[in-house]
Amino acid sequence: MALPVVAQRYARITQLEDLSAARNYCHQHGLNWLLLGGGSNMILTQDLQSLVMHMAIVGKHWVPAENLHCTVQTSGKGIRYLQVGGGENWDDLVAWSIAEGAYGLQNLSLIPGLVGAAPVQNIGA
């Protein structure tokens, strides 16, 4: 579907500092913003005056529990924590986690979307 809709302002977010800078820009200029993942489940019918921030932070790595920015209580050994950029493809993450021997996500395979949409249950919507 090709609709003649454009965003007046666009920022590709590739690191956390980009996100902070884009939000500051919006506050300084009195703009709303739209944080966009892949955008495959959106249909826009008019031009956007907001700043469209395209989430493109990628990367994934294991994080030691002592480096987490929250309190975690566990009762077992062998627990690993994974930090993943919101711009990573969800199904690729599932496949990677299985290859890494980290099971649990395999039942969520083949869901389209990006990792950043997972916390709001919007992958595959």
Which pLDDT belongs to residue 59? 96
pLDDT in tens, 50-72: 999 999 999 998 887 777 766 65
Residue 47 to residue 4: CA distance in whole angstroms: 8
Burial of residue 42 (number of CB atoms within 10 Å: 0-12, 13-18, 19+) = exposed
End residue of a domain, out of 55, 79, 95: 55
CATH number for the domain harbouring residue 34: 3.30.43.10
Q: Print the domain residue range for 65.
A: 60-119
Q: Domain check: are 27 and 70 in the same one?
A: no
Q: Look up the pTM and report it.
A: 0.78
Number of domains in the chain: 2
Q: Answer yes or no: is 125 within a domain.
A: no
Q: Which two tokens stand for residue 118?
A: 């997972």
Q: Domain check: are 94 and 69 in the same one?
A: yes
Residue 118 to residue 27: CA distance in whole angstroms: 27
Tell me the mean pLDDT in the region 15-30.
96
Tell me the mean pLDDT in the region 37-50.
86
Q: Domain check: are 80 and 102 in the same one?
A: yes
Q: Domain check: are 39 and 64 in the same one?
A: no
Which pLDDT belongs to residue 58? 96
pLDDT at 47 over 80: yes
Q: Answer yes or no: is 78 within a domain.
A: yes
Which pLDDT belongs to residue 72? 59
Q: Answer yes or no: is 29 within a domain.
A: yes
Q: Answer yes or no: is 1 within a domain.
A: no
Q: Answer yes or no: is 2 within a domain.
A: no
Q: Domain check: are 66 and 100 in the same one?
A: yes
Q: Domain check: are 65 and 14 in the same one?
A: no
Q: Read off the pLDDT band of 100 (50, 70, 90).
A: confident
CATH number for the domain harbouring residue 103: 3.30.465.10
Element (H, E) at 94: helix 90-99
